[in-house]
């Protein structure tokens, strides 16, 4: 799994002119899934995201997690995170999982993040044409790949 994590003051995702999820202070997480991903990756990545210390403490140092600042997480699937760009100018998405594998993992990730946060997690709709709006705070953007755990 690959995640692009952005610290935001607000973010929302819209499908067919309907907002499917929105948050104020927190994290927008764009999630890419590949066929080799497992529930172990879900558990590890959810724990990493929810405990990542990228929010300022009272001294202005990034030393608090989204949980510690009582923030929220908006989770959006994004297969393009597995774009292969070495050859030519048209990206290949061969490594991105097809819906039959990716949808159950995406739904498990939403549940796991909700459990780790202790609250409902708003999300995009897998495979939909989504419009994502955000106000990146900092800007702070972190990329995590579960294949680089060690």
Mean pLDDT in each 10-residue stretch from start to end of the chain (150 residues)? 98 97 98 96 98 96 97 97 92 92 97 98 96 97 92
Q: What is the CATH number of the domain that holds 43?
A: 3.50.80.10
Least Cα distance to 34 among 95, 125, 94, 108 occurs for 95
Separation of alpha carbons 126 and 146, rounded Å: 20
Looking at the DSSP assignment, which residues form a beta bridge with residue 133?
Answer: 12
Q: What is the pLDDT of residue 137?
A: 97
The residues carrying an active-site annotation are: 80
Number of separate domains in the chain: 1
What local confidence, expressed as pLDDT, does residue 76 receive? 98
Q: Is the pTM of this model over 0.85?
A: yes
pLDDT on residue 147:
93
Q: Which residue do the tokens 């990206």 mark?
A: 91
Backbone angles phi, psi at 139, to 5 degrees: -75, 145
Q: Residue 115 belongs to what H/E stretch?
A: helix 99-117
Residue 22: predicted pLDDT: 98
Query: Do β-strands 72-77 and 26-32 pair in parallel, antiparallel, or remain unpaired?
Result: parallel
**Which residue range(s) make up the domain with 110?**
2-148
């Amino acid at each position: 799994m690959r995640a692009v994590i952005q610290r935001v003051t607000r973010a929302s995702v819209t499908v067919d002119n309907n907002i499917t999820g929105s948050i104020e202070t927190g994290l927008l997480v764009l999630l890419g899934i590949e066929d080799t991903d497992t529930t172990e990756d879900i558990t590890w990545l959810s724990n990493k995201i929810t405990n990542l210390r990228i929010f300022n403490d009272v001294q202005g140092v990034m030393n608090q997690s989204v949980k510690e600042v009582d923030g929220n997480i908006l989770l959006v699937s994004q297969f393009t995170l597995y774009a292969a760009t070495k050859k030519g100018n048209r990206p290949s998405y061969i490594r991105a999982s097809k819906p039959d594998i990716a949808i159950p993992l995406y739904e498990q990730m939403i549940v796991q993040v909700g459990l780790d946060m202790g609250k409902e997690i708003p999300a995009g709709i897998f495979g939909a044409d989504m419009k994502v709006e955000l106000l990146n705070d900092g800007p702070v953007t972190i990329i995590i790949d579960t294949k680089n755990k060690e």
